Chains A and B, each alone.
Chain A
């Protein structure tokens, strides 16, 4: 029999997921920052980007992990901000946050696939 209430455990899980995704993002972000700082030298063109991403399983994998982590991290963060700073809370907010996460995951994966294909 569980000791904590369902909602307390649920909030704990969200907190843990946010921190876990943060750890993944820490690695992704440092790579991404380095990459974009380098990539913008001499202007950025589609050809520049595609030369790197097209057919590269490495970059595909990297960015899919990046998007997955963001799709977990951002909605939980935004949900917390909304709950603390607006009257909106409860099931409808949870669903909206989940929808935002799903949207980020799908929309991001779409872009990544487009750059890989």
Chain B
């Protein structure tokens, strides 16, 4: 990573160290041109403190691995320019909310992906291998609904932003429910009523109060609020038809 120094006083960077208990450690980081928060974290780890733990991969806004809480907001650090978020020359970096902390800035995403499974967030093929291919016209209502949500890469930002996840630990969360909705709308999928049962109740879609923190923070501009509202309709219909 080439460094191009920029003018201005050094950044004061507060970084969370420890697990659920711990504290913020302050570092002074020289400014660079087009500096992102991920650049800052990497510079600290390479020049100041090799014991700092954090997670990243692509560093170009494709994988979602670098998601952290920056000045109180969950975001991708590789796509967050320091100049956009610094407050009086100070940047505060913490791990994502609502997830157990492994160390420093790295969280344990096991529960996030477990909930994905619990919400029926996986494709269920139909029983017969000999069945004909299903035609899926891209302009149908179902396909457009599915397409609106399938770009999710499981970064966890929506999950970290959601109040309901914080208040109701069993809540499956916006990402898992959004994925379930894409599959409810996938005409090839055979998940049917089992999936609707999985997303019903107050661990499921009915706990959502449409605060839209998820949609507000999603780096891919996905709309879990809309997906969850769709699940509410689908489950209500299933209940009224005696299928639940």
**Interface set of A (CB-CB < 8 Å, partner B):** 2-5, 7-13, 15-16, 83-85
Contacts and interface: CB of A to CB of B under 8 A. Distances in A.
Interface stretch (B129-137, B142-150, B231-239): B231-239
Given A3-B196, A3-B243, A3-B244, A12 B201 contact: yes
A40 to B, nearest CB: 33
B239 A11 contact: no
Q: Taking each of A2, A11, A12, A84, which has the highest tally of chain B beta carbons within 10 Å of its own beta carbon?
A: A12
Nearest to B200: A8
Interface of B: 164, 167-168, 193-194, 196-197, 200-204, 206, 232, 235-236, 239, 243-244
Contacts of B202: 11, 83
A2 B242 CA distance: 9
A94 B238 CA distance: 25
Q: Taking each of B167, B203, B204, B239, which has the highest tally of chain A beta carbons within 10 Å of its own beta carbon?
A: B239
9 closest pairs, A vs B, by CB? Answer: A8-B201, A4-B197, A3-B197, A11-B201, A84-B167, A8-B200, A15-B206, A4-B244, A11-B202
A16 B244 CA distance: 14
A11 B193 CA distance: 17
B136 to A, nearest CB: 26
B244 A9 contact: yes
Nearest to A7: B201
A12 B239 contact: yes
30 contacts: A3-B194, A3-B243, A3-B244, A4-B201, A4-B244, A5-B197, A5-B201, A7-B201, A8-B197, A8-B200, A8-B201, A8-B204, A9-B200, A9-B201, A9-B239, A9-B244, A10-B201, A11-B200, A11-B202, A11-B206, A12-B235, A12-B236, A12-B239, A13-B239, A15-B232, A16-B236, A16-B239, A83-B168, A84-B164, A84-B167
Contacts of A84: 164, 167-168
Given A3-B243, A9-B200, A84-B164, 6 more contacts: A3-B196, A4-B196, A11-B200, A12-B236, A16-B239, A83-B202
A12 B200 contact: yes
B204 to A, nearest CB: 7
A84 B239 CA distance: 25
Contacts of B204: 8
Contact of B167 (A11, A13, A16, A85): A85
Contacts of A13: 239
Contact of B200 (A4, A83, A85): A4
Nearest to A84: B167
A11 B71 CA distance: 36
A12 B244 contact: yes
A33 B206 CA distance: 30
A66 to B, nearest CB: 24
A12 B235 CA distance: 8
A73 to B, nearest CB: 15
A3 to B, nearest CB: 4
A4 B164 CA distance: 22
A84 to B, nearest CB: 4
A65 to B, nearest CB: 22
Nearest to B166: A84
A15 B202 CA distance: 9
Contact of B206 (A2, A3, A5, A12): A12
